[in-house]
Structure 1
Amino acid sequence: MVTLDKIYHASHVLKEIIRPTELIKAPKICPDCNLYIKTENLQVTGSFKVRGAYYKISQLSDEEKKKGVIACSAGNHAQGVALAAAKNGIKAKICIPDGAPISKVEATKSYGAEVCLVKGVYDDAYEKAVSLVEETGATFIHPFDDEMVIAGQGSIGLEIIEQLPKVDAVIVPIGGGGLISGVGFALKSLDPDIKIYGVQAEGAASMVKSIKDDEIETLEDVHTIADGIAVKTPGVNTFEICRKYVDDIVTVSDDEISTAILELIEREKMIAEGAGATSVAAAMFNKLPIKGKNVVCLVSGGNIDVTILSRVINRGLQKAGRLAELVVELTDKPGQLLGVSEIISSYGANVVSLEHNRSDERLDINDCVLRISIETRNQEHLDEIKDALVNGGFKIK
């Protein structure tokens, strides 16, 4: 059983390895509430996961340590286990889905762990890890469904209430549920009036479905840019704790997550991975009743693969109406392109690229199509430009 004493003990043990992360006020992200960011993306290894992994491994017996540890992870837990094992002088083998970001795989190797890439998603890596545990006798370090791991994550809750004693609500990303279980248990034990809200990606809403159906459910598949929370099945322990201590769980789309990542970069000069940004997305897009409240968004990790960061930023720009492709049907005669350009220019938008096509067989013989990418201030600005083009006699597809 998870207890408040274990969480306090975990907090004491972790002082030698983790950094207490800052709580930063972020008034520009969600002006309707007093929003703060708990910056676990700046944690050692770039994620909160090191807390639970280190506490669990630190409590192993000498005999268990001799046999080493095995874990499965989409990346962040892997790094936490690898670092914890290295600090304790024991061997670690980590099973990672082959689709995990290369940066997370290489970071895990850099801490000295052996990596086993497994075809599929987290749940496939889990099955492989369990089979290796049976073969070797090593200790399995579960990424979320373990009381010691949950207690380690709960140390974040102790930090939050110390940093913001009058906190009204905390928004936490959910994959398997270990983070919100620890944080929720700690905070609710200290102050039952604090609201604990969970967030999942729409494409991996296993806890949402399980809570709704009042039984643990397994999704057929998961698909989201938030790879750190792409879990098909919640944990047994975490499911029970969430039922008791979590007030509500909402979902956010990949577009909303991308927008939140962009907002954190621009407003707070802070990098968050998809999973970590879900809490901010829930606040930004009014998913929860937090108006006028003191709210903490737990940004759980910052290990985003730089190779996809530009795509995520572009998606965020598109969602915010700041980058758009307009498809305009024109009559193929002189002056048409100039007319479009003058309207766009008069509204202060910037043309990024354009393509003029008169050979599409679906067009009338005297027509052509203009595909033009533009940068705008926001969705309202984009809508003004579209209206101006239509009023100027142009047809937007």
Structure 2
Amino acid sequence: MNLPSTHGIDAVHVDWARIRADFPLLERTVNGKPLVYLDSANTGQKPAAVIEAVDDFYRRHNANVSRAVHTLGSEATEVYEGARKKLARFLNVRADELVLCSGTTFAINLVAYSWALPRLRSGDVILVSRMEHHANIVPWQLVVQRTGAEIRVAEILPDGTLDLAALYAAMTSEVKLLAVTHVSNVLGTVNPVREICREARKRGIATVVDGSQAAPHRPVDVAAIGCDFYAVTGHKMCGPTGTGALWARREHLAAMPPFIGGGEMIKEVSFDGTVFNDPPHKFEAGTPNIAGFVGLGAAVDYLEGVGLANVEARETELLAHATEELKKIDGLRIFGEAPEKAAVISFLVEGAHAHDLATLLDLEGVAVRSGQHCAHPLLQYFGVAATLRASFAFYNTHEEIEAFVAALNKARKLLG
């Protein structure tokens, strides 16, 4: 199967205008204004190469995987497993340790039900940071309800950084699992996950890292991080929705029971019992989102063509510009100003409700997120009910930042 090329992108000297032109949706207007899309932390836009890859699969290669010896079935299996290999290379892990799934939420639930639930007992502790997305909180709450274990919270500092001294002090002998995000979806804080996982490993604590906001925006070397589990979501990294993966150490995958039963995850079935397939296929019951993973493979190709170091540098530049401009606005409060931060700005403007501002910004063609961002405990820490969040990607421009700030100032005036 021949996937569309990435147009010979030079990963050293990047023409960002040319890159932006690869994203068809960014050409549209909203409410008669040029779209300014600042919600990439929610979902990333898709380059033409990804859209064309999905279209090509359905037009020319559509068949189920691992179930047929005919040509289409072989092609579908090849490209599906090819996406696994590409994603494994992208994360610097082994392909046979990578479970393909619908995204980070499913991946963390897989760890919760297949690893934590059979192991944890009353008196055990799951340590969770204050800045976690609900996907890295709620599954652990369901586990403790059924096991008698408990959740403890690792707190943050006022600037939005994780309180590492308190975190390490909380790594007591009762703690069996630490759940921590690589990059906060609200604050943009980049946690030192390699150091954190090293300290946890010294104490025999297993680690789950939510990589949803890291993988699309910076080079990620899971092997170097040294965690036990790492989860990613495809739609945030320019891929289709309903795609993602869980990486887990081989010994964990071998010991974990299946989370969902059905076809493909078995070697042999009788009414007396079932012999399960080898990992990672043991955890991939049913027909997968084949076309979605074709698209995710194309997204990995695209991001590698641009270069993740280039992506990170570009987004850092955009973040600095946006932060500088927003700080000029009287009464604007930014939540999260960690020394190392991804291109996310959560903020409020005095006297204006987040949802009202977001609605007025939309009238100007500016798309930002308003609400609690699936992080209720974090917003409770700051004592606010909601924030606006502007999140940037490498396909954004400095001109869009100027348009965003102008629209925000106009909205403020309308709200009086």
Q: TM-score, normalised by structure 1?
A: 0.34
Greater relative contact order (Cα < 8 A, sep 6+): 2
Q: TM-score, normalised by structure 2?
A: 0.33
